Structure 1
């Protein structure tokens, strides 16, 4: 009996006992479906994060510093990093402190409790790209200027959501209360997320020293800097690290990362998490394989006389073994196909349900959970392999049956 005949017999066996076949394949279906969903979500998250980092640009460098507190002779401040940019114009083009302020935002009697307030410098907005260091663009007005930051003027740039909710779409020149202090709106950002409360469109930018005062005069601990190009980002990072090392004499007080390094770190973390989750989901495949082995052992018992007849007619051990191995492989292959369809359907549901939430949290980057062709091919191959592996023991048992004993079996 050749492969085609064995395959047709296997399909016929599945058709004649549909419920038993489905229950046998259930472990494979759940296991493959779970793996497909997990890989799809991982692909969606990775692509979304990469898209987000691309909007930041490959020349962004982020520096985090932690003040030494009491007993420390000196800490690095914004002026030190401004001097560094002036000293190395061939590598660095701008620096902006990035201060997160804890302040209440109000417009008239309406309060916006989830609005984020950030303090930045005029360098946060790049004149060459007409975008901020975080990839945001202006739809109205202007961004903060040097004179605004230098004189600590009470002016602000707001997100699209805040303009719509607080000013009904006409915010320029209007006043907004931040921490009890009136600020004049001089610019409005383009819609960047889903324009809802707490999203990337619900934010305010003010001069960084103003934000520092709102937060109780805390030390600026985060700086965003830009290199002249993608190729000079590594050199720019080295210059910043040397300057911080000169002051702190220890890497315990600072950390510098380029946007490319941040993207690589996030991808590494995502890949590690995916491996762990896929390994957990693969337990279902193991359970499915055991189910196939059990049902094949039952099948061998039920077809003992058939095996005896085939052997008496000249069938060899390898013929019997291959027939049952092909049957087990076919069962797991069909289960794998159903599992893939199940996983793709769940991934589509995840895209619809989770996509909007993830998009708003990542500044407008799109989220699509979809498996790659490689993921599908590997999942199908693993499902078939499990069927063949766990089907070999029953197949080998069938192949070694004595034909006389098999014919006499009732």
Structure 2
């Protein structure tokens, strides 16, 4: 240890004799390490953001959703139907529950775009007819009052729970609890308000992005009675009518292992010419999407990490170049040390210590810069996610030290193999 410590002090002294050259050599490692950590942080942040969006749907959930059929599928006998009837029926819901034994919970949902009014205040939002389980399935938290209950649904109550933005828009200065809002031609008593929730991103091609902050939640049975199943929209003088019973069913199984076996059974309960010949129902399995997102994230991280590692390689080449020049400059010194009894391993050790010092200092500075850069990016681009992991820091620093040893080994061995007499004659 004493010999290594003496070699370290001698190496530092030698490197400080050429501060500019040593500093420029270190910069190659600094930028390489910083690039590896920053790129992996951005890749990890983007990956985690996407995976959180999918996890919000529930890894043990299976989502069956109504989709508007294509123009060809809409035509009936060569002519488009006057009333477009599509999507999940209550009969489908009952059949799925009766046929699939692994289902632990089921959440039926009916979504209707409506203007929500209260005196002179109004908001174009989404009326969601659902049950008491909706808040748990979608991770909604109640800010004031309460959420819907099973009794509200059974008794067809005209109760409503407002989302955060809906509440602020309709009741800017008042407490909404106990007040009334108008949906269509009916009035609903507000029993609760939910906290703000981040909008969900669109998943795959089957689920659109959802803004949970502009919703009104009412009991499903109340929605069925008050709004019916037929929605008429008037646009530019033309009348369009759609008939949909349920917009979505979210089915939950007990464990992740039950997801894959359950999927084909659910499909058999609603697919086929007998039930939905127009292909107006689609299924989304969040667990499958999560696995695909994780695979993509790993590939993305490998690609970015490889690109960033190239800059580390360039830094290593710079270290080798400088150390070869140093060996040439210090040929006479090497000859003197060998003449005084230094062994070849001592010479090799001395030059290796110097290269490790260069790469180690560069690695430490690069780690600091690599941790700071993602924070700066997130500060100026708030939508961009970045997450620095301990494994990426250790990986980048370890590679920087390994590159120092690898690229310093040849110059060190070249110095050690010099003939002492020829080295002493060197001018």
Band the TM-score falls in, shorter-chain normalisation: 0.7 to 0.9
* Separation (CA, whole Å) in 1 of partners of 2:183 and 2:311: 56
Q: Which of the two has greater strand per residue?
A: 2
- CA positional deviation for 1:335: 0.9
- Residue in 1 aligned with 2:165? 161
CA contact (8 A) 2:64 2:281 kept: yes
1:356-408 CA-to-partner distances (Å, cap 9, x unmatched) read x57xxxxxxxx783422x33222211111111222233333333434344323
Within 5 Å, which residues of 2 pair with 1:371-390? 371-372=389-390, 374-390=391-407
Equivalent in 247, 259, 262 of residue 236 of structure 1 = 262
Which blocks of at least 5 consecutive residues in structure 1 are unaligned?
Answer: 359-366
Are 2:108 and 1:96 aligned? yes
* 8 Å Cα contact 1:171-1:185 kept in structure 2: no
Q: 1:14 offset after TM fit, Å?
A: 3.8
1:10 is aligned to 2:18: no
1:9-408 correspondence runs (5 A): 9-46=10-47, 56-63=57-64, 67=69, 69-71=71-73, 77-88=88-99, 90-92=101-103, 93-97=105-109, 101=113, 117-118=125-126, 120-123=128-131, 125-126=132-133, 131-138=135-142, 139-140=144-145, 142-143=147-148, 157-168=161-172, 169-172=174-177, 173-175=179-181, 184=188, 186=190, 188-193=192-197, 202-205=213-216, 213=231, 223-230=248-255, 232-247=258-273, 256-349=283-376, 357=383, 369-372=387-390, 374-408=391-425
Which whole-Å CA distance do the structure 1 matches of 2:316 and 2:107 have between them?
Answer: 58
Secondary structure at the residue paired with 1:94? strand
Aligned partner of 1:361 in structure 2 is none
Deviations 1:104-162 (A, max 9, x none): 777766676xx7x4454424x41xxx7242111333354498998999x9986432133
Q: Deviations along 1:179-221, whole A, 9 cap, x unmatched?
A: xx887563544224479xx995632146788699487656879
State the shift of 1:82 in Å. 1.1
Mean CA deviation greater in 131-140 or 54-63: 54-63
TM-score (normalised: structure 1): 0.74
Partner of 1:362: none
Offset of 1:239 from its aligned partner?
A: 1.9
From the superposition, tell whether residues 244 and 204 of structure 1 become closer, same or farther in structure 2 (CA, over 3 Å): same
SS in 2 for 1:256: strand
- Structure having the higher Rg: 2
Structure 2 residue runs of 5 or longer lacking an equivalent are 77-84, 200-208, 234-239
CA distance change for structure 1 residues 132 and 18 in 2, over 3 Å: closer, same or farther?
same
